[in-house]
Each structure stands twice: as C-alpha cells, then as structure tokens.
Amino acid sequence: MVHVICLGVTGAGKTTLLKRLSASSEEQDAGKHSVVIPTVGVNHFCVKFSLEKAKSKKKNRAADDDSVEVLELGGDLAQTWTSYLALSPLSVIFVIDASDTIRLAQVAFHFVDCVAALSNKAQASILVLYSKIDLVDETKVGEKLRRIRQILQLPHLKSWYTNVDFRELQYCVWDDYCVPVIKDWIRKKGRAN
C-alpha cells in the first residue's frame, strides 16, 4: 500500500531525492556523481528507518527495519496526478525546482490542482520541497522563495484549505541536515495514513 506520493514537474529533483532517501550510507556516497534520468511513468521507492528494539535480556539490541513506500509520479503524468490522489488518504511531497523560474506558472497550476484534490480528505499533508536551492544565488534565496510562494498562492491556500497540513522545506540533495528531516516527515505521515 502506498503511503506517500512524490510529485513535481519533470526535472524538479524527485528521483534524485527519493534515491537519496532510500539508499544506504554507502550507496549515497557512491551515488553523489551518478546521472539521473527523468522518470517516465511511475517509480516505487522504499524509504527505510532503523528502529532499535531490545529483543531479550540475553541478546544485544538489534536493528529492526521499518519502512514506508513512496510512489513517484513522473512529470509526464501531471494531468493524472489528481486521479492518484483520489485513491486513498495520502501524504504528498511536492518537489519544486527553486532554480527554474521559467516553469513556475506550470508548477503553480499543478500544485493548486493537487491541493484542491487533497482538500476532500479528512486529514491530508503536503510537504512543499524547494529543491536545487544551492543553484540559486545565496543573496537572492529569500526573494526567490517569496516569489515562488506568491505564484503558488501558498498563503491563500493555507487559509482556504485548513484541513490540509502544509510544511515547507528548502532542500539541497547533498545537504545532510535536510535528509533526516524529510525522512522523519515521511515516517510520521506515512504511518498515519
């Protein structure tokens, strides 16, 4: 059963993000320089979390795998995203390339469409992830994010759709701070669904 769906236009950084989240530490280091091809169709990822459990007094603590399935829908399927959102209660990661100003209107159209589809759910969550933030001039990041929020109509959507839990996060794929934060959000929201 899919617990979390990852959406974003082609080239936003969905596959790179999910590969990083689902890879082991060794795979992450090896994959830093790998080429990622945009998804055509659907990808399934399993994001794993290691939980410590005491099995018995005789044995040492052992790691027990816990995971959440994440479904990535390629940007080429944008017209059908709302159909997927109607299938079950979901949490959504919506990835936005913060360095791509050319397609912001297209991103906003699909984002608003997805939020409206989620508004029919009793409890819906959406993590808005601003990817490729490292490609934006450091001195203009705040201005850039304000513009993106304005185009997405984020302040209005938050007040209109009060049953949708919004969270925003800036993300650089090799940023070691963001990965645990994103994984924690997936763990909490994926388990709640």
DSSP per-residue letters across the chain: ---EEEE-STTSSHHHHHHHHHS-HHHHHHGGG---PPPSSEEEEEEEEEEEE---SSSPPEEEEEEEEEEEEPGGGGGGHHHHHTTS--EEEEEEETT--TTHHHHHHHHHHHHHHHTTSSSEEEEEEEE-GGGS-GGGHHHHHHHHHHHHTHHHHHHH-TTEEEEEEE--TT-TTHHHHHHHHHHHHHHH-
- Return the pLDDT at 64: 43
Give dist(CA 14, CA 114) in Å, integer: 16
Domain boundaries, given as residue ranges, for the chain? 4-50+63-192
- Return the pLDDT at 49: 79
User: Number of C-alpha atoms within 13 angstroms, CB side, residue 87?
Assistant: 14
Q: What is the pTM of this model?
A: 0.84
Residue carrying the six token digits 């410590």:
52
- Return the pLDDT at 51: 54
Q: What dotted CATH number matches 4-50+63-192?
A: 3.40.50.300
Q: Tell me the pLDDT of the chain (193 aa) as tens digits.
A: 667 999 999 999 999 889 888 876 555 555 554 667 778 889 999 888 765 443 333 344 444 458 889 999 999 999 999 988 887 757 999 999 988 989 999 999 999 999 988 888 878 899 999 988 878 788 888 888 889 989 988 888 888 888 888 888 876 655 667 888 888 888 888 776 6
- Return the pLDDT at 23: 77
- Return the pLDDT at 57: 38
Which residue in 9, 189, 192, 1 sits closest to 99, CA to CA? 9
Are 132 and 36 within 8 A, CB to CB? no
